[in-house]
Amino acid sequence: MITTPGPGVMISPLMGNAQAVEALTESTGKELAALSINEDRLLLNFTDGSAIKLFDDGQLCCELRYMYTDDELQDFVGSQFLSAEVREGPEIEREYEVKESEFLLITTSIGQFTVVNYNEHNGYYGGFAISAVKI
């Protein structure tokens, strides 16, 4: 089964990423007060009261998108946020569905943790559009 990017994933780059760049740039160097994953978004709260969320903005129709980590997020509280990087992950195909993954690597002053983004769909939708916004 061939997976092609869904319209949400194809449109996202056309809308620009200035908002994501601004959110990440303004957060660089800030001390993390709390981190959490809420289904399909990673929330980073900082000691100055600001916060950002990183999420997959490619949702369209018949997909199930969610995030997961094996890392203990609380271990990174008190460190400084340095960067976020996306890397391609493996794809698993079953008879009538596809499970895609993409890695989101967060670098802090004490090391990295990895969040895996998943997208389960029927093969007609696919791809990821990881974004960041200030909240």
**DSSP label of 129:** -
pLDDT at 59: 64
Are 116 and 67 a contacting pair, CB within 8 Å? yes
Over residues 60-86, the mean pLDDT reads 91
pLDDT at 3: 44
The SS3 assignment for 117 reads: strand
Q: 50 pLDDT band (50/70/90 cuts)?
A: very high
Q: 91 pLDDT band (50/70/90 cuts)?
A: confident
> In the structure, how many helices (H) and strands (E) does the chain have?
2, 8
DSSP 34-79: EEEEETTEEEEEETTS-EEEEEETT--SS-EEEEE-SS-GGGGTTS
Whether the pLDDT of residue 65 is over 90: the answer is no
> What is the pTM (predicted TM-score) of this model?
0.82
